[in-house]
Amino acid sequence: MELLEAIILAVLAASTPLLLAASGELLVERAGVLNLGVEGMMIVGAACGFAGAWATGSTLIGALCGILAGVVLSLVFALMTLGLAVNQVATGLALTILGVGVSGLIGAGFVGERIATAPRLYIPGLTTLPFVGKILFGEDAFVYVSLALIIGMSWFLYRTRAGLVLRAIGDNHVSAHALGYPVLKIRTLAVMFGGGCAGLAGAYLPLAYTPFFVPGMTAGRGWIALALVVFASWLPGRLVIGAYLFGAVSILQLHAQGWGVGVPSQLMSALPYLATVVVLVLISRTRSGGSTAPAALGTVFVPDR
Amino acid sequence: MQLVLEKRAERSTIIALVSPVIAIGLTIVTMSILFVIIGKNPIAALNVYFITPLTDAYSLQELAVKAAPLVMIAIGLSLCYLANVWNIGAEGQFLVGAVAGSWLAVKTNGTDAGVWVLPAMLLLGAIAGALYALIPAFCKVRFGASEILVSLMLVYVADLLLDYLVRGPWRDPAGFNFPTTAEFDPVATVPLLFEGGRLHLGAVIALVIVVAAAVLLGRTIKGFEIRVVGAAPRAARFGGFSSNQLVLLTFAISGALAGLAGIIEVAGPVGHLQPGISPGYGFTAIIVAFLGRLNPVGILIAGLFLALTFIGGEQAQIAMKIPLDITKVFQGILLFYVLACDSLILYRIRLIMPQRKAADGAA
């Protein structure tokens, strides 16, 4: 029972950065923009988040620094793809390459430093409940924020007028523009939101997951988050299932290594990446009848006045 | 003030030619500012970065040694990008090619195998790279899975495979537990062009590939098909070109070239298989492909330029204690400027001032 509790806690912790980054990207893609720079924004978010928390001793300020870093990078992406109509795939790659370098520069001075991990929720009476107490009422704020984000996003996309407009822009930007909606402005806001989420997801790693900064510590999580959006068929609710499934795979491989399962550790470490490939193949195949992707995803839009 | 793009009636040929130069210029200006921010003298830093590597024979050879894999990989990637498919896993194909070729070198190590070993290794590397690249291509044409994500995931897998092999079955028994294979035999090593130098046969192979790609794209139907499928997919369908077949073909070629680059790197400058054989060649080659405007000759020039950033980065770290990561920042910024300047080929930028509107309102 205690082992199970520990495993569930670990899965939640491993899933949260994926969920945060993927939910931001989901909204971006729903607006018809494909930002492949999630990995780059995450890794800079991790470096800035650590720097902020290290300088002030506050997890909150660290998280805000991470968000800010993600937003700044996403604005560069927006200027390129929305302002200058540059190919989104290439720009996203550029953002990732730049992000890895920038985070290395910022983080160089922090390697080996430690900070206190993010405080966990504690409600007397509830958190001390056996088994469910710690899982439901003893998480760090990031876990609750990530779930609140999903609920908020579902509400926004399907219950508000602005959400409807955003989805319309993602499916047909020409019609939306003809109806008088500010396509590029709304897309810019969506991209900024995605950047903030990616930055927060990155900041989660040094602030709550491990109490130190390691160069390249995102280890492809940004790319897995992109795959999760496909897995979720662009539906926020399914993102939760996907993220926790992937969190479970990555924790499983750690435990399997601990139990001394007779396979090379490198094979176990490769599991999350292989699982991503398998999931992409399966999910893309079952959707052969018609894609659920936003119809205008990744296409360039230049309004003619 | 508002920024508005206006479509040009025709592609601007002048900007198409000068845009890489403008991009490099803007990058150097941005880097100077960055050097000032991190407290280094920008003139001295740029000098170490771009001028000193060009002043001695050793560095010039090193430049060609580093440019060779970049050019080889970028040529393959340019075919994919021209056909509008996105292979971004060249780093993985590079590593798998290195692993496959090294297998033969490890197996024949210490035996008196003949001169056939090296050609066989190069062939193995190219085949393995091609097969590895065909995984995302096949997933795309058969299942509709994103080739971007699949090819990238396989980079991490390839990295772990190499790590496993050099720490496990292929580790040099006499290597003091270092994660490396034994040093390759002379017959399994890419020969040097001059005795005692650094320049090896790989540079010549890269040049041959540049010429072959120029012929393929400029003089053959296949090359024409690749360009049409990318630029006008609808027209290509009417023309009866199979885009699926071209996805497989362009991925196979780019994988083979990346794999070849991988085994040449291991059997040439490195001399044995070990983790970290690539300083990110597979990713930098993406920048090379774009900076070279997806054109073989352009890629050759761009490859030399980006090789310079690797060498300059190393020298700047030694001479001025500038962190090595600045090279990646530099490369990322360069790609941004290249892409932004390319936009000017198709569009004119107009800044619209809101003052007139305000004046109208007042009147």
Does B349 lie at the interface with A, CB-CB under 8 angstroms?
yes
Cα→Cα distances B28→A6, A304, B54, B298, B308, Å: 51, 34, 17, 20, 13
pLDDT at A26 (0 to 100):
95
CA distance B301 to B188: 30
Does B345 lie at the interface with A, CB-CB under 8 angstroms?
no
Report chain A (305 residues): mean pLDDT per 10 consecutive residues: 81 92 95 94 95 90 95 95 89 92 87 78 75 76 91 94 93 90 94 96 91 86 92 90 89 75 81 89 68 82 76
Smallest CA–CA separation between B94 and chain A, in Å?
18
Q: Which of residues 14-53 of B touch A (CB under 8 A)?
A: 38
Residue in this structure with the two tokens 């009147």, named with its chain if needed: B363
Number of H helices, E strands in chain B: 14, 2
Question: Mutating which of A231, A277, A279, A287 best tests the B interface, going by the most B Cβ atoms within 10 A?
Answer: A277
Q: Cβ–Cβ of B347/A85 closer than 8 Å?
A: yes
* Nearest-Cα residue of chain B relative to residue A221: B153
* ipTM score over 0.90, yes or no: no
Query: Nearest CB to A274: which of B157, B328, B342?
Result: B157
pLDDT at B355 (0 to 100):
57
From the list A200, A214, A44, A204, the residue with the least C-alpha distance to A118 is A204
Chain A hits for B139, Cβ within 8 Å: 277, 280-281, 284
CA distance A66 to A155: 25
Amino acid at B239: G
CA distance B146 to A298: 13
Q: Count Cβ atoms below 10 Å from residue B66 Cβ, excluding itself.
A: 26
* Nearest-Cα residue of chain B relative to residue A225: B149
pLDDT at B144 (0 to 100):
87
pLDDT at B1 (0 to 100):
58
Q: Count Cβ atoms below 10 Å from residue B18 Cβ, excluding itself.
A: 14
Res. B88 pLDDT band, cuts 50 70 90: very high
Tell me the DSSP string of chain A. Answer: -HHHHHHHHHHHHHHHHHHHHHHHHHHHHHTT---TTHHHHHHHHHHHHHHHHHHH--HHHHHHHHHHHHHHHHHHHHIIIIIS---HHHHHHHHHHHHHHHHHHHHGGGTT---PPPPBP--TTTTTSTTHHHHHHS-BHHHHHHHHHHHHHHHHHHHSHHHHHHHHHHH-HHHHHHTT--HHHHHHHHHHHHHHHHHHHHHHIIIIISSS--TTTTTTHHHHHHHHHHHTTT-HHHHHHHHHHHHHHHHHHHHHHHTT-SS-HHHHHHHHHHHHHHHHHHHHHHTTT---S-TTTT-------
First-residue to last-residue Cα distance in chain B: 20
Chain B hits for A40, Cβ within 8 Å: 332
Look up residue B27 and give its two tokens. 């990058």
Query: In which element (H, E) is residue B277 found?
Result: none
pLDDT at A19 (0 to 100):
95
Res. B104 pLDDT band, cuts 50 70 90: very high
Q: What are phi and psi of B264, to 5 degrees?
A: -65, -40
A49, A65 Cβ separation under 8 angstroms: yes
From the list B329, B20, B165, the residue with the least C-alpha distance to A98 is B329
Structure confidence by residue, pLDDT tens digits, B118-157: 999 999 999 999 999 999 999 999 988 889 999 999 999 9
pLDDT of B215 over the 80 cut: yes
Q: Cβ–Cβ of B156/A270 closer than 8 Å?
A: yes
Chain B hits for A97, Cβ within 8 Å: 283, 286-287, 328, 331-332, 335
Residue in this structure with the two tokens 């399907």, named with its chain if needed: A158
CA distance B44 to B360: 53
A44, A202 Cβ separation under 8 angstroms: yes
Q: Which of residues 78-97 of B touch A (CB under 8 A)?
A: 86, 88
Query: Nearest CB to A285: which of B143, B168, B283?
Result: B143
pLDDT at B102 (0 to 100):
95
From the list B221, B215, B274, B263, the residue with the least C-alpha distance to B73 is B263
Q: How many residue pairs from chains A and B have C-beta atoms closer than 8 A?
A: 150
Q: Which of residues 200-259 of B touch A (CB under 8 A)?
A: none
Smallest CA–CA separation between A233 and chain B, in Å?
13
Look up residue B74 and give its two tokens. 């970028």
Chain B hits for A305, Cβ within 8 Å: 4
Look at A108-117, B71-80, B238-247 and tell me which has the smallest mean pLDDT: A108-117
What is the model's pTM? Answer: 0.90
From the list A224, A147, A210, A198, the residue with the least C-alpha distance to A41 is A198
Look up residue A128 and give its two tokens. 């001390």
Half-sphere exposure of B96 (CA within 13 A, CB side): 25
pLDDT at A304 (0 to 100):
73
CA distance B260 to B100: 10
* Nearest-Cα residue of chain B relative to residue A275: B153
pLDDT at A287 (0 to 100):
58
Q: Cβ–Cβ of A36/B148 closer than 8 Å?
A: yes
Q: Cβ–Cβ of B335/A276 closer than 8 Å?
A: no
Residue in this structure with the two tokens 């909150």, named with its chain if needed: A60
DSSP-derived letter for residue B190 is P
Tell me the DSSP string of B18-57. Answer: HHHHHHHHHHHHHHHHHHHHTT--HHHHHIIIIIGGGTSH
Residue ranges per structural domain of chain B: 60-299
A276, A227 Cβ separation under 8 angstroms: yes
pLDDT at A150 (0 to 100):
94
Cα→Cα distances B90→A67, A90, A189, B151, B259, Å: 31, 15, 33, 8, 8
Chain B hits for A22, Cβ within 8 Å: none
Question: Mutating which of A35, A41, A79, A84 best tests the B interface, going by the most B Cβ atoms within 10 A?
Answer: A84
Residues in CB range of B326: below 8 A, 6 or more apart:
A101, A105, B31, B34, B38, B313, B316
pLDDT at B273 (0 to 100):
93
Structure confidence by residue, pLDDT tens digits, B45-75: 888 888 888 888 888 898 999 999 999 999 9
Q: Strand ranges (DSSP E) for chain B?
A: 2-7, 347-352
pLDDT at B256 (0 to 100):
97
Residues in CB range of B248: below 8 A, 6 or more apart:
B134, B137, B138, B141
pLDDT at B230 (0 to 100):
83
CA distance B179 to B182: 10
Most confident of A229-233, B12-16, B258-262, B319-323: B258-262
Residues in CB range of A89: below 8 A, 6 or more apart:
A34, A36, A298, B86, B148
Answer left, alpha or beta for residue A112, where phi above 0 means left and psi between -120 and 50 means alpha.
Answer: left
* Nearest-Cα residue of chain B relative to residue A83: B3
Residue B351: strand pairing partners:
B3
Cα→Cα distances A4→A67, A251, A252, B62, B280, Å: 33, 12, 12, 55, 40
B330, B317 Cβ separation under 8 angstroms: no
Chain B hits for A298, Cβ within 8 Å: none
CA angle B241, B247, B253 (to 5 degrees): 115
CA distance A46 to A54: 12
Query: Nearest CB to B328: which of A84, A101, A287?
Result: A101
pLDDT at B150 (0 to 100):
94
Query: Nearest CB to B329: which of A98, A281, A302?
Result: A98
Chain A hits for B164, Cβ within 8 Å: 264, 266-267
